């Protein structure tokens, strides 16, 4: 069965700082018309760094969930920036760590029903400590948490961030 | 360090079929003001079903990526619907399968920087075949793919959907 949808027209609802929202009219496979609500967002990059069996995490307040959550260091790519460069940059900005060797772990589509965001996830295999310089308006705490505890926190729903869950699970599979 | 952000005001930019967009003014931990772009989306539910070592996947065209992608059966909850009910309903609508026993695998926040979507992921442990009834305007193919091949497809970046990656990895860890 042919599943393609074709764009008929696109209306920009909002163009903001970190995202844009479009409402596109599309032609469906059965010849009918419909609309797709599209949140366009630059791709992101994230880094899993494990040191002495402990995972490097940033704890920050996420306004959309109204609470502090744990995530691996990550951020969105600047326009035209390669994901591995974004990963190195975000790791250094948020935690001070400088990765000497990054290996791709996996990439994820955050939520393909409404956004085009792709997050490229890397493992930092060689690294050294440095000084963090978070962006203005970015407030976070950097913590190392033992891998076993991170897995328990995922199990209990205390760590839920999709990139963090994917990265930690992949790491466990690679090291079993 | 106190990391909380407090809402000062909220502007609704768009209220649509599957999402709403708000632009909220917030008070940051350092007393400065900023804005948060917030895509509000109902929570979702997804089901991993493995039969004879093969994973039940739906292949559908995702307009935002301009191509067909594989995902485990999933969808957004109706207002007030429990995630386990959404999971059962979506599994049946999309694939025809009826789960007799669902076990929570994990939950994920799709992309906490700009959306509040949470996806609850379940494992179908007892199930039987039935007849699928996709929503109007939803076109998909249902396929069983061997777990080992699914893992290779994730490795090659052919399967990227975050809920699918998290579910498959968790399943591998549980069964190792």
According to DSSP, residue A130 is labeled -
Residues of B with a known catalytic role: 136
Can you tell me the ipTM of this complex? 0.96
> Which residues in chain B have their CB less than 8 angstroms from residue A68's CB?
3
Q: How far apart are CA B57 and CA B66, in angstroms?
A: 19
Distance between A98 CA and the closest CA of chain B, angstroms: 23
According to DSSP, residue A135 is labeled P
Residue B7: beta bridge partners? B26
Q: Is A79 left (phi over 0), alpha (psi -120 to 50) or beta?
A: beta
> Which residues in chain A have their CB less than 8 angstroms from residue B117's CB?
111
Mean pLDDT of chain A: 95
Question: Which of A153, A162, A174 to probe by mutation at the B interface, max B CB count within 10 Å?
Answer: A162
Write the residue in B61, B108, B114 that is nearest to A160 by C-beta.
B108
For the question of residue A158 being annotated catalytic, the response is: no
Show which of residues 38-67 on chain A sit within 8 Å of chain B, judged by CB atoms: 38-41, 44, 59-65
Q: Among the CATH numbers 1.10.760.10, 3.30.1490.20, 3.90.79.10, 3.40.50.150, which is that of B44-174?
A: 3.90.79.10
Lookup: tokens for A100:
């000497």
Between helices A162-174 and A147-155, what is the axis angle to 10°?
130
Query: 3-class secondary structure for A27-92?
Result: ECCCCCEEEEEEEECCCEEEEEEEECCEEEEEEEEECCCCEEEEECCEEECCCCCCHHHHHHHHHH
CB atoms within 10 A of CB A105: 23
Q: How far apart are CA B40 and CA B49, in angstroms?
A: 28
* Ranges in chain B, pLDDT < 50: none
A97-152, pLDDT tens digit by residue? 999 999 999 999 999 999 999 999 999 999 999 888 877 778 899 999 999 999 99
Residue A176 has pLDDT above 90, yes or no: no
Show which of residues 128-167 on chain B sit within 8 Å of chain A, judged by CB atoms: 137, 139-141, 154-155, 157, 160-163, 165-166
Which residues of B16-53 form beta strands (DSSP E)? 20-27, 33-40, 44-51
Between helices B162-174 and A162-174, what is the axis angle to 10°?
40
Note the pLDDT of residue A1. 67
Sign, Cα dihedral of B155, B63, A161, B174: negative
Note the pLDDT of residue B1. 67
Note the pLDDT of residue B137. 76
According to DSSP, residue A17 is labeled S
CA-nearest residue of chain B to A38?
B64
Could you tell me the residue ranges of all domains in chain A? 6-40, 44-174
> Which residues in chain B have their CB less than 8 angstroms from residue A114's CB?
18-19, 39, 41, 64, 115
> Which residues in chain A have their CB less than 8 angstroms from residue B141's CB?
1, 3
Note the pLDDT of residue B102. 97
Q: Do B18 and A113 touch (CB under 8 A)?
A: yes
- The CB-based long-range contact list for A146-152 (8 Å cut-off, 24+ gap) reads A146/A53, A146/A54, A146/A55, A147/A50, A147/A53, A147/A54, A147/A55, A147/A171, A147/A172, A150/A55, A150/A57
């Amino acid at each position: 069965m042919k599943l393609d949808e074709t764009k008929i027209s696109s209306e920009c609802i909002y163009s903001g700082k970190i995202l844009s929202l479009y409402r596109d009219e599309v032609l469906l496979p059965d010849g009918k018309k419909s609309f797709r609500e599209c949140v366009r967002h630059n791709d992101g990059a994230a880094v899993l760094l494990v040191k002495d069996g402990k995972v490097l995490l940033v704890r920050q307040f996420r306004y959309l969930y109204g609470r502090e959550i744990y995530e691996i260091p990550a951020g969105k790519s600047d326009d035209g920036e390669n994901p591995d460069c974004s990963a190195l940059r975000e790791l250094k900005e948020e935690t001070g760590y400088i990765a000497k060797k990054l290996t791709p772990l996996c990439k994820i589509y955050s939520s393909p029903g409404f956004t085009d965001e792709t997050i490229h996830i890397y493992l930092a295999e060689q690294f050294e400590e440095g000084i963090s310089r978070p962006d203005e308006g970015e407030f976070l705490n950097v913590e190392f948490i033992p891998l076993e505890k991170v897995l328990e926190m995922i199990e209990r729903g205390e760590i839920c961030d999709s990139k963090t869950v994917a990265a930690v699970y992949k790491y466990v599979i690679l090291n079993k």
